[in-house]
Amino acid sequence: MSTAFSIRVYKQYFNFASSHFMLFQDGTREPLHGHNYRVQVRGNAQDLNDDMVFDFLNIKPIVREVCDSLDHKLLIPKNNPHLVIEEREKNYLLIARDESVFSIPQSDVLILPIENTSAERIAAYIAYQVSEKVLLKYQFEFKELEIEVEETPGQSAIFILTKN
């Protein structure tokens, strides 16, 4: 018989305000805009350790740290083929395929190792960050780690990171 347990954590401070623009396959982009994102976490385990999946007191600061790292930044996808990113002194020069050019201070930008800045890709980024930090600090891996990123009330994307 197989067992499974989950924890779900969503705190008011699991949030970040960031700006972004999506780049589409045809090379067009949407206008630069921002969201007040909210994050929820669900972690699954086959068995309990000390009668818990994972201690709430240990997961909360990790999720908060990841959210804080995204807060008040322009999120830029490093792996998008329709965007050129150049460093110019203390700025990033961003050149989109539609010939839009942005020059933004590096301190205001977070370049993420993702293909686009959709809520789905941001959820995946957060899942990998949380998973890596939990493993590093506590030598623990969730069987599944689900991250939900709400872009606006009632509109969210979910990524599930599964460990074999």
Tell me what pLDDT residue 62 has: 98
Q: How far apart are CA 4 and CA 2, in angstroms?
A: 7
**Are 83 and 111 spatial neighbours (Cβ–Cβ below 8 Å)?**
no
Encode burial over 61-73: b for 16+ CB neighbours within 10 A, e otherwise. Answer: ebbbebbeebeeb
As a 3-state breakdown, the chain gives helix, strand, coil percent values, each rounded to 5, of 25, 45, 35
Per-residue pLDDT of 41-54, as tens digits, reads 999 998 888 899 99
User: Average pLDDT of 112-121?
Assistant: 98
Q: Catalogue all structural domains in the chain, each as residue range(s) with its CATH number.
A: 5-72+118-162 (3.30.479.10)
Question: From CA 134, how far away is CA 45, in angstroms rounded?
Answer: 14
Q: Say what the pTM is.
A: 0.95
Strand pairing partners for 75? 110
Residues 60-111 have pLDDT tens digits of 999 999 999 999 999 999 999 999 999 999 999 999 999 999 999 999 999 9
Q: What angle do CA 104, 15, 49 make, to 5 degrees?
A: 130
132 and 141 Cβ atoms separated by less than 8 Å: no
Q: Assess whether pLDDT exceeds 80 at residue 164.
A: no
Mean pLDDT for the stretch of residues 34-46? 96
Query: pLDDT tens for residues 2-19?
Result: 558 999 999 999 999 999
Give Cα separations from 45 to 2, 105, 129, 147 (angstroms). 11, 42, 18, 15
pLDDT at 1 over 80: no
